[in-house]
Amino acid sequence: MQTALEDMQRDIAGPLSVAAVSTAKYFLPQLLGNFKRRYPGVEPRLQITNREVVLARIADNADDIYVMGQPPREDTVIAEPFLENIIVFVAPSDKAIVVANAASLSAGISMFAGFNLVFYRNDGVTFGMLGGAPWWSLIALALAICIWLGVMLFRAENAVEALAYGAIIGGALGNVIDRVRYRAVTDFLDFYIGTTHWPAFNMADVFVVGGVGLLLAAPWISARRPIKS
């Protein structure tokens, strides 16, 4: 039996080219290191890059294996999940510590029934919409919207509208800062009922959605406020 296993290990040899999205850098090198120790004849070659480059390499058939959170839907590839959630990590208040220790924090923290703290890089906008779009295009879109909202802020007819516009602008700019630094925004709030999870989000999203809700309610709130003579 031992001889057969040793023969099998000798048969598995040669270069292994792997391309992965940036979030994989927190766990994939360790996995490849363990694989290398088990099969010393294999020579892993790892390239960490962004999603757009990985998709281009898939189209060019440039590598043996690709690791990403959202695989393409083409019939020419076969996607096999190998971790329960490869980009969900614990998220205490200091996000820099989370990033530095993400590989050991992959399980997340259950705060109470219905709420987890997680760590997720969202390359889309609020609640994961427009995922996969170029990061710079989302920054340009957010800044354009902020400029327009800034004009609306100065034209606001009452304090409620001004507060709503300010909340939306503040939340949008908070996500822009994350996107400039990480090419994605950092989501860490995970609410769920049973096995159904609402898309993870962050406090910037809370300000954006809260601001939109306040803006919609502004006419009703203003109408109920007493008019000073």
What does the pLDDT profile of the chain (229 residues) look like in tens digits? 344 445 545 567 788 888 888 878 877 888 888 888 888 888 888 888 888 888 888 888 888 888 887 777 766 777 777 766 544 433 333 455 555 555 544 456 777 788 887 777 777 776 566 667 788 888 898 899 999 999 999 988 888 889 999 999 999 898 888 888 888 887 778 888 887 878 878 888 889 999 999 989 888 887 776 655 4
Q: Could you tell me which of 226, 104, 125 has the C-alpha nearest to residue 172?
A: 125
Q: How far apart, in whole angstroms, are the C-alpha atoms of residue 229 and residue 208?
A: 34
**pTM for the whole structure:** 0.50
User: Could you confirm whether 7 is annotated as catalytic?
Assistant: no
Per-residue pLDDT at 16:
84
Amino acid letter, 85: N
Phi/psi at 28 (5° precision) = -70, -40
Could you tell me if 69 and 31 are in contact, meaning their C-beta atoms sit under 8 angstroms apart? no
User: Could you confirm whether 205 is annotated as catalytic?
Assistant: yes
Report helix, strand or coil for 117: strand
Q: Report the run of H or E that residue 48 belongs to, with start and end.
A: strand 42-49
**Chain centroid to CA 212:** 23
Radius of gyration of the chain (CA): 23
Per-residue pLDDT at 188:
78
Q: How far apart, in whole angstroms, are the C-alpha atoms of residue 58 and residue 70?
A: 13
Per-residue pLDDT at 225:
67
HSE toward the beta carbon, residue 40, CA cutoff 13 A = 2
Per-residue pLDDT at 213:
92
Q: How far apart, in whole angstroms, are the C-alpha atoms of residue 139 and residue 33?
A: 36
Q: Report the run of H or E that residue 21 belongs to, with start and end.
A: strand 14-21
Q: How far apart, in whole angstroms, are the C-alpha atoms of residue 44 and residue 228?
A: 74
Per-residue pLDDT at 106:
44
C-alpha to C-alpha distances, 170 to 66, 93, 125, 127, nearest whole angstrom: 37, 19, 15, 17
Show Cβ contacts of residue 127 under 8 Å, excluding neighbours closer than 6 positions: 198, 199, 201, 205
From the candidates 63, 178, 187, 190, give the one annotated as an active-site residue: 187
CB atoms within 10 A of CB 98: 20
